[in-house]
Amino acid sequence: ASKYRPFSPVHLTDRTWPDAVISRPPVWCSVDLRDGNQALIEPMDVERKLRMFNALVKIGFKEIEVGFPSASQVEFDFLRRLIDEDRVPRDVTIQVLTQAREHLIERTFEAVRGARRAIVHLYNATAPVMRKVVLGLDEDGIVELAVTHARMFNRLAAAQPQTEWVFQYSPEMFSGTELPFAKRVVDAVTEAWQASPGRPCIINLPSTVEHSTPNIFADMIEWMHRNLARREGIVLSVHPHNDRGTGTAAGEFAVMAGADRLEGCLFGNGERTGNLDLVNVALNLYTQGVDPGLDFSDIDEIRRTVEYCNQLPVHPRHPYAGDLVYTSFSGSHQDAIKKAFAARREGDIWDMPYLPLDPKDLGRSYEAVIRVNSQSGKGGIAYLLENEYGLELPRRLQIEFSQVVQGVMDATGKELSAAQIFDLFEREYGTKR
């Protein structure tokens, strides 16, 4: 049983609205090695890609987009190493991306030759601006482009029957596409693939650029979910980006609106402002009592690996993983946390002020929770002395000593560690005791 309580404020307890919460995790797909990688200043080499792949497997991802093998030799070689050196666990499926162009699709199928199971992911743009300005095609032309290349998948897959194939299609710029047209293209592709419950394909709807508030994106997903011709033969996936800073919300709302699967990156890496942050969504579920099926119990190790592979830092205020997120600076927060720790009993539901999650669950410690700086009160000082040095100060002394500490911090403007506070205490009272 989870120690976290499902979120159900009074106004949502009416169960006629069942989708107001997420009660089971979506299928997760990491695109760190593709979308994340293509957005790096210095894309990963094979060694960094392998490290990232192993980390993703360890976390528990069962679907991993490993690259765009027709786009570069590094991508192609990485895929060959995964397959030739048998590095893909049996319960993990690799995914590869290709544009709807004949020679790129051929090269992609060549790259995955010999894989046990593979998701091959086809995309072409569908939004008006892309049709008009980039592709120079009208609506019929876009449908034909998608269907012609989808049919190529049938032929090339049939020629490699030793692999279990799953086909995926993305109408790139879905977020900027007219819904009836998006449906028309997707229906045509799923028809070409004869998608059925026995042989489902993945339809992935990206907010290639976040154009709208997340509720509007979710409305678009719900409309597709209700109207796609072969919905029963489709795993409905979404691929939110984060241009408005609402990628996490867009993904969560999309799942409530009918999506089965989420694509994203660890810590929100990806083009421009990034992809949906998988860590956020998974741990948001966790703190509401839903097991995400992903293991973040050593978040610092994961963070170090991702920072090394991406050569980008994770923000100190990143929810769940940032350096500062289990740190309380304000005196009133420190006091409330101290009281809640004291009142807490083994097996209690997690119900802590200012700490939505037990840092221990992610391999972080309580020690950093209470820090003392010029914004803190006496509670944090007393907590550190008691927890680190077993010194229980009477209330009168807490008040007196906090003024001493405050004086030092006001003068220096710096935070004081537990050891420095203890030294100060020794200096002030050591001889008097």
Chain residues that interact with ligand KIV, rule: CB under 6 A: 35, 97, 123, 170, 172, 204, 206, 208, 239, 241
Residue 349 amino acid letter: I
Residue 67 backbone dihedrals phi, psi, to 5 degrees = 160, -170
Known binding residue 11? Answer is no
Tokens of 170: 């993305």
Residue 234, H or E segment: strand 234-240
Rounded to an integer, what distance in angstroms lies between the CA atom of residue 39 and that of residue 210? 16
Rounded to an integer, what distance in angstroms lies between the CA atom of residue 64 and that of residue 154? 22
Q: Are 241 and 206 in contact (CB under 8 A)?
A: yes
The three-state (H, E, C) secondary structure of 115-160, written as one string:
CCEEEEEEEEECCHHHHHHHHCCCHHHHHHHHHHHHHHHHHHHHCC
What does 59 interact with, of Zn ion, ligand KIV, none (CB < 5 to 8 A by kind)?
none
What does 261 interact with, of ligand KIV, Zn ion, none (CB < 5 to 8 A by kind)?
none
What does 290 interact with, of Zn ion, ligand KIV, none (CB < 5 to 8 A by kind)?
none
Known binding residue 225? Answer is no
Known binding residue 204? Answer is no
Residue 21 amino acid letter: V
Q: Are 91 and 35 in contact (CB under 8 A)?
A: no
Q: Kindly identify the residues of this chain, within the stretch 11-50, that bind Zn ion according to CB under 5 A.
A: 35
Q: Which residue is nearest to Zn ion (CB)?
A: 35
- Least spacing, CB of residue 104 vs ligand KIV, in Å: 13
What does 123 interact with, of ligand KIV, Zn ion, none (CB < 5 to 8 A by kind)?
ligand KIV
Residue 253 makes CB contacts below 8 A (sequence gap 6+) with 214, 215, 217, 218, 221
Cβ proximity to ligand KIV, 145 vs 325, nearer residue:
145
Known binding residue 103? Answer is no
- Is 210 a binding residue for Zn ion by CB under 5 A? The answer is no
- Least spacing, CB of residue 24 vs ligand KIV, in Å: 24
Cβ proximity to ligand KIV, 123 vs 296, nearer residue:
123
- Least spacing, CB of residue 69 vs Zn ion, in Å: 17
- Least spacing, CB of residue 240 vs ligand KIV, in Å: 9
Rounded to an integer, what distance in angstroms lies between the CA atom of residue 245 and that of residue 265? 14
Cβ proximity to ligand KIV, 195 vs 238, nearer residue:
238
- By CB under 5 A, name the binding residues for Zn ion: 35
Binding residues: 35, 239, 241, 275
Binding residues for Mg(2+): 35, 239, 241, 275
